[in-house]
Amino acid sequence: MPDAPTRLALRGDLLDFTGTPALDEPASPAVRFRPDHWLLVEDGRIAGALPGPTPPGEDWAREDHRGRLLMPGFIDTHVHCPQLDVIASYGSSLLDWLDTYTFPAEQRFADAAAARAGSALFLDALLAHGTTAAAVYPTVHAGSADALFEAAAARGMRLVTGKVLMDRHAPPALCDDVVGGQADCEALIARWHGRGRAAYAVTVRFAITSTPPQLAMAGGLLRRHPGLYMQTHVAENRDEVRWAAELFPEARSYLDVYHRAGLLDERAILAHGIWLDDTDRALLADTGAHIAHCPTSNLFLGSGLFDWAAAREAGVRVSVATDVGGGTTLSMPRTLAEAYKVQAMQGWRLSAWAALHAATRGAAEALQLGGEIGSLEPGRLADVVAWDWSHGPVAAHRDRLAQAQALHARVFAWMTLADERQVAATWVAGVPRWRRAPDRAPQVAALG
Ligand code: GUN
Ligand code: ZN
């Protein structure tokens, strides 16, 4: 494990949020931009900031990232570790995509060595994409959750995960049962929940693949163990919504299936939420459950357009997530750029501030982790990423012009054009966990 200097100062353009920006306003008092500052990190936590020309004393290790953006690490609130194997698979919508690509791929994680290798690959990929914390689905196999927790602990990462619960409508090799699923969850909770930065999520894949007794068992786990998360999918695809209505005729809606099982509270993370109505949104707001919006997945699988404005209007929290492998990238900037387009298709414009907030401070708050991650506030753990402002001649040209414009114009162009090639370094709790290979010189320097 690389050592963390007790006192580390990182120089760059600091960007984070002190509150919640409006969805569509390019000027926001919630934005905190401190160009050319030192970010001070002491014992893995943010200790403060100083203007660039006045560095801290000699007892601080220094790293100069001048001309780069320094931001809190992104938080991906919904992503599937084993699905790196099937990212970018051709030609199907949700239910068919699960049967054709995803369920076959997930069977590989029955093998503990495959799960370990897959978890290491996946978490290193997150760090290389500038993402330092995530809510992740492994597979139905308890060993796949162990593997993810172990790999996250080795990297010091904040990880929310739990073995997937599925006891019907999936291949037999991926199905558990109520008794076995409960025993696995109890053992994993005892082993991992609250250990270091690990948190357990009762992971009901979706209503289609759980029987009512399994949903009731999941609700029982949440009641017995306060502080657990719950993660699932809801109202992603119209065929799925119809099937859920057939399977649960007593429920008012797809979301109500989870509510009746006692699965909705402020630690519930529901992916997608495209086909919800006003009553559903009111239920989300009342329970504090939040939506992980997954734009690249929704576009790739042709699932539909998430109505973020309606969610905000109803008081529903929204984070943004990649949903790889239905989603097509682990990059949060690329995901946020697609989120903008999804809202543009519905006639309005998502600000860079609202988008970036939803992937940092907003996600942290939705996960009840605002005291630990998501901002550069003193006392937060130093999960920080240094980003080049551009990559390649077109983005460099655009960035040069944008520097003469309002800050939102520059940051919006960055968000729309950026990808993982712009990640120079990623720190987790002040420890450098990923650095770009030295032969990838920063583009700004090359272009002058
Ligand atoms: N619904 C149930 N399982 C999945 C999954 O793995 N990916 C997506 N996008 N939706 C799901
Ligand atoms: Zn998903």
Ligand nearest to the CA of 323: 2
CA nearest ligand 1 atom 3, residue: 205
Q: Is 205 in the pocket of ligand 1 (CB under 6 A)?
A: yes
pLDDT at 269: 99
Q: What is the per-residue pLDDT for 3?
A: 62
| 94 touches ligand 1 (CB under 6 Å) | yes
Q: Which ligand is nearest to the CA of 207?
A: 1
In 79-111, where does DSSP find H-type helix? 94-97, 103-106
Q: What are residue 203's DSSP bridge partners?
A: 164, 231
Q: Percent of the chain beyond pLDDT 70? A: 97
- pLDDT score recorded for residue 382: 98
Length of the chain: 448
pLDDT of res. 310: 98
One of 3.60.21.10, 2.30.40.10, 3.30.2350.10, 3.40.50.300 is the CATH number of 7-72+381-435, namely 2.30.40.10
Is the minimum distance from the CB of 80 to ligand 1 under 6 angstroms? yes
Q: Where in the chain is the domain with CATH 3.20.20.140?
A: 74-330
Q: Is the C-beta atom of 206 inside 6 A of ligand 1?
A: yes
Query: Where in the sequence of the chain do the CATH 2.30.40.10 domains occur?
Result: 7-72+381-435
Dist. CA 73–CA 374, nearest whole Å: 7
Please tell me the distance from the alpha carbon of residue 103 to that of residue 288, in angstroms, as a whole number.
31
The CATH number of domain 74-330 is 3.20.20.140: yes
The pLDDT of residue 353 is: 98
Residue 359 has a pLDDT of 99
- Quick one: pLDDT at residue 91? 87
Pocket flag, ligand 1, residue 233 (CB < 6 Å): yes
Residue ranges with CB less than 5 Å from ion ligand 2: 271, 323
* 96 DSSP assignment: H
Structure confidence at residue 259 (pLDDT): 98
What ligand is nearest to the CA atom of residue 86?
1
Output the pLDDT for position 445.
Answer: 46
Extract the residue ranges of the chain whose pLDDT is less than 50. 1, 444-448
- C-alpha span between 239 and 95 (Å, rounded): 8
**Atom of ligand 1 at shortest range from CA of 326:** 9
Q: What is the pLDDT of residue 447?
A: 40
Looking at residue 438, its pLDDT comes to 85
Question: What ligand 1 atom has the least distance to the C-alpha of 208?
Answer: 2
